[in-house]
Amino acid sequence: MDYKEYPVPKEVRHLVESYWTNILHPDDFKQDYDYIIPEGSTDAIFMLNGNYLRGDKRNDSQHLVEYCSLVPSFNKAVKVYQKPFTQLLGVKFKPGAVQQLSGVSLSELRDAAYPLEHILPELADLVMAEVFKKTSIPKILEKISSWLFSQAKEPLQNHLTSAFMARVIKQKGSILISSFCDSFGMHKSTLEKNFKHATGLTPKQYTNLIRFNYLLNKIMFSDSNLTETGHELGYFDQSHMIKDFKKVIGITPKEFLEKEFSIPKLAALSISNKRQHFEIY
């Protein structure tokens, strides 16, 4: 698996957390399925080569992603069936960006994925035209950045949501939401309303996902045992940590490692870079 993040120009960093690409190789497939891990963000995903079936447990259905989709934030791992050499290009949006660009609140988006042309048609047309011309990825990213800048020159001021996300990331998901609200002199319901509108998630769901992704990073790339990892991430005990892990992906950390999944590495790698994308308050 070749995962890469690209620098985002300063003029659109208020809209975009990161640009990324990923290619799957034959030796990445240890099972006939894999999992996409929720990261608490919304992505525009462009299929540069290949396609995949994306499951939606809420509707007991599958969604074929062939060209480009908007994938809203979600809080449970999604089972997918991909093929070797599937190549993706992604735009990971910051909170409030999709609303600013499309007029659509993320709290209104409840499906597993949407055709991007239904939400951001100009972006879909722009990128797929370049994909079919076999334009290089750096050139495509330049065109995406230019389009974003032309659509939203004034940064959307969402200090409350950004401050909360920065604090959660800094503390690896181990945070008391009530204490954060007290530090800003606001009621918890104010944070919940603003955060849900900007991200499609509740503050509690987001904190749980960030802590899960740090846990995923540790068990995939660290030599620390589960006890040490649990203590570092603020879990009361190992059983609590395993229970939270199963809530997201449906299996225990041990079962997860035995399966040798590949796609979750995307989230595990991404969480390592996430802090730099948000101002730390």
CATH number at residue 87: 2.60.120.10
The DSSP bridge partners found for residue 64 are 53
> Do 20 and 147 fall into the same domain?
yes
Provide the pLDDT for residue 226.
Answer: 86
> Do 78 and 115 fall into the same domain?
yes
**What are the residues whose beta carbons fall under 8 Å from the beta carbon of 172, sequence distance 6 or more?**
210, 211, 214, 232, 233, 234
**What are the residues whose beta carbons fall under 8 Å from the beta carbon of 139, sequence distance 6 or more?**
130
Contact assessment for residue 215 and residue 247, using Cβ atoms and an 8 Å cutoff = no
pLDDT along the chain (281 residues), means of 10: 93 93 88 89 88 59 71 90 86 92 88 89 91 93 97 71 92 94 93 91 95 93 88 89 94 93 87 74 43
**Coil, helix or strand for 4?**
strand
**What are the residues whose beta carbons fall under 8 Å from the beta carbon of 32, sequence distance 6 or more?**
81
Q: Which range marks the domain in which residue 48 is found?
A: 2-151
Provide the pLDDT for residue 280.
Answer: 46
Among 129, 151, 173, give the residue marking a domain's end: 151
| C-alpha 65, offset from chain centre | 17
> Do 169 and 136 fall into the same domain?
no
Contact assessment for residue 106 and residue 197, using Cβ atoms and an 8 Å cutoff = yes
H-type alpha helices, the chain: 97-102, 116-119, 121-132, 137-151, 159-170, 177-184, 188-199, 203-221, 226-232, 238-249, 253-259, 264-274
State the total domains in the chain: 2
CA distance 111 to 56: 8
> Do 38 and 133 fall into the same domain?
yes
> Do 195 and 146 fall into the same domain?
no
CA distance 130 to 49: 13
> Do 189 and 223 fall into the same domain?
yes
Among 151, 181, 199, give the residue marking a domain's end: 151
Provide the pLDDT for residue 281.
Answer: 43
> Do 14 and 85 fall into the same domain?
yes
